[in-house]
Chain A
Amino acid sequence: MTLADRIRDEGARLAAACTACGACVRACPMTAYAPAALADTSLTAFGMRDLLTGGVGNAPGLAWVAVCARSGVCSDACPEHLDAAFLLRLAQMRAKGALDEAPRIPVKEDTGFSARVKAFARLTLTEGEQAEWL
């Protein structure tokens, strides 16, 4: 199995169980930063669910998925007892184009990530620690 398989398989499984009732959207503290998601929470959830199976989603769904910060309260709110936080994470990965699809939300990738981590390591770790711990 690959990560792509996992994203595809779990996405399909969770999408099939999700009723797009919108309880997760209503519980989410991040909708303060994506108010369009609250206009019709079922429509927002529908758009998010569509992403899980490779669909294009919809505007409120994409706006909501883009601000997901993994608060996790959606899982407690789900009447189907789904791991909604994981569902959101998979939807966000799909929306970013993780499976070689066109990105549907902005991707803020830090291209200097690895080099920055190593530069800070040279500032805060001894040479011996770098050799053993990195």
Chain B
Amino acid sequence: MAMNSTPDAIFWYGCNMTRHGEVIRASARILEAVGVAAAPRGGPAACCGSPKDANARINGGMARRTVQAFNGSGAAAVITWCPSCHMNMQDSMAPVTPTNFETQHITEALWARRAVLAPLLTQAVPARVLVHGHLGFQGRVPINDLVPALLRLIPGVTVLDHPYRAPGHMCSSLAGVPGALADCHRALLAVAEENRVDTLVTIFHSCHREAVALERHGLRVMNWIHLLAAAMGLPAEDAYKTWRNAQDARAAIGDERLAQAGETAFARLVEPELGKPPVV
């Protein structure tokens, strides 16, 4: 959906979600199916500024540019994906640059339209799932309640009720603290094994990109959007997971796609991430 016509809403997917283009695509299609025409926007040009937390001038400039672009779109709502973006919009972006839109998380938007969504979930998805929740963000959006509730609308899905919540608001916040992400992954594996779970369901993108390596322990890893898409019959192949767990990421990606990324950029920016050892 282009920004040259006024959308109902902007689907603000954040920055690092570009690893999961299928999640952006499926999210937009699911929103559209429940009656929300949401234009995806993200990447460095629509950044909340948090990658530059150590420099308020740059951080604030990025945030202001994003708010001004959203204001200029005419959209009445900005539907968020990323918890950092969502909290930064409320805590520092909107207070500094007044907004003319409301902010809502995608889980809230879908739950509010569950009466429309539920009949669209026609494909059974057999899975006994553990939802990977964090302590943070729950105080802003009851994410650890909404995601399981949405998953329970899918025929065939059984959601385990378990109290484990990882510290932080998503796994990127743990990755910089030595030992914290490994502790989280070990805990998830233990809970999954104790409760005979076959699928770990991530909520956020940064959790997903770290957790996909847990498939090497025999645990299927999907994002909650992958499950909703499967239930609706929408294509949402998790290419990143395939590449991350491949013996040879280059071969898995293929020459044509590699050429799209550019050899230099791939070798410098992408390949080290895909080839890094799992934390557990």
Asked if B180 and A69 make an inter-chain contact with CB atoms under 8 angstroms apart, the answer reads: yes
Which one of A89, A103, A123, A129 contacts B261 once the chains associate, using CB atoms below 8 Å?
A123
A6-B96, A30-B180, A115-B265 known; A132 vs B52 contact (CB < 8 Å): no
Bitwise, A93-134 to B at CB < 8 A (1) or not (0) is 100111110010001111011111111111111000100111
Asked if B92 and A122 make an inter-chain contact with CB atoms under 8 angstroms apart, the answer reads: no
A69-B174, A133-B24 known; A97 vs B54 contact (CB < 8 Å): yes
Which one of A3, A4, A33, A75 contacts B179 once the chains associate, using CB atoms below 8 Å?
A33
Chain B residues with CB below 8 A from A119, complex form = 261-262, 265-266, 269-270
A70-B168, A89-B91 known; A124 vs B56 contact (CB < 8 Å): no
Asked if A71 and B134 make an inter-chain contact with CB atoms under 8 angstroms apart, the answer reads: yes
Assign chain B's interface to a size class: 35 or more
Which of A5, A33, A108, A112 is most buried by chain B, counting CB atoms within 10 A of its CB?
A: A33
Asked if B167 and A71 make an inter-chain contact with CB atoms under 8 angstroms apart, the answer reads: yes
Chain A residues with CB below 8 A from B60, complex form = 2-4
Which one of B16, B92, B136 contacts A70 once the chains associate, using CB atoms below 8 Å?
B136
Asked if B261 and A122 make an inter-chain contact with CB atoms under 8 angstroms apart, the answer reads: yes
Q: A85 interface residue, CB < 8 Å from B?
A: yes
Asked if B96 and A123 make an inter-chain contact with CB atoms under 8 angstroms apart, the answer reads: no
Which one of B56, B84, B135, B253 contacts A123 once the chains associate, using CB atoms below 8 Å?
B253
Which one of A67, A107, A116, A129 contacts B21 once the chains associate, using CB atoms below 8 Å?
A129
Chain B residues with CB below 8 A from A69, complex form = 136, 167-169, 173-174, 177, 180
Q: Report Cα–Cα, A32/B167, bound state, in Å.
A: 11
Which of A3, A89, A98, A134 is most buried by chain B, counting CB atoms within 10 A of its CB?
A: A3
Beta-carbon contacts under 8 Å, B249-271 to A: 253, 257, 260-262, 265-266, 268-270
Q: B153 interface residue, CB < 8 Å from A?
A: no
Chain A residues with CB below 8 A from B183, complex form = 32
Residue of chain B at shortest CB distance from A2? B60
Which one of B2, B18, B96, B179 contacts A124 once the chains associate, using CB atoms below 8 Å?
B18
Q: Report Cα–Cα, A72/B134, bound state, in Å.
A: 10
Asked if B25 and A129 make an inter-chain contact with CB atoms under 8 angstroms apart, the answer reads: yes
Residue of chain A at shortest CB distance from B28? A133
Residue of chain A at shortest CB distance from B93? A3
Asked if B2 and A132 make an inter-chain contact with CB atoms under 8 angstroms apart, the answer reads: yes
Beta-carbon contacts under 8 Å, A1-45 to B: 1-7, 29-30, 32-33
Main secondary structure of the interface of B (DSSP, over half): helix
Beta-carbon contacts under 8 Å, B38-83 to A: 39-46, 49, 51-57, 59-60, 63
Asked if A134 and B261 make an inter-chain contact with CB atoms under 8 angstroms apart, the answer reads: no
Asked if A125 and B18 make an inter-chain contact with CB atoms under 8 angstroms apart, the answer reads: yes
Q: Report Cα–Cα, A117/B72, bound state, in Å.
A: 24
Q: Report Cα–Cα, A26/B91, bound state, in Å.
A: 24
Asked if A98 and B135 make an inter-chain contact with CB atoms under 8 angstroms apart, the answer reads: no
Q: A53 interface residue, CB < 8 Å from B?
A: no
Measured CB to CB, the closest approach of chain A to B37, in angstroms, equals: 13
Which one of B42, B168, B169, B266 contacts A134 once the chains associate, using CB atoms below 8 Å?
B42
Measured CB to CB, the closest approach of chain B to A107, in angstroms, equals: 5
Asked if B268 and A133 make an inter-chain contact with CB atoms under 8 angstroms apart, the answer reads: no
Given contacts A112-B269, A117-B15, A123-B270, 19 further A-B contacts (CB under 8 A): A3-B49, A3-B63, A7-B56, A30-B180, A33-B180, A71-B134, A72-B139, A75-B139, A96-B53, A115-B265, A118-B18, A119-B261, A120-B261, A122-B265, A123-B260, A124-B19, A124-B22, A132-B39, A134-B18
Closest 4 CB pairs of A and B: A3-B60, A124-B21, A69-B168, A69-B173
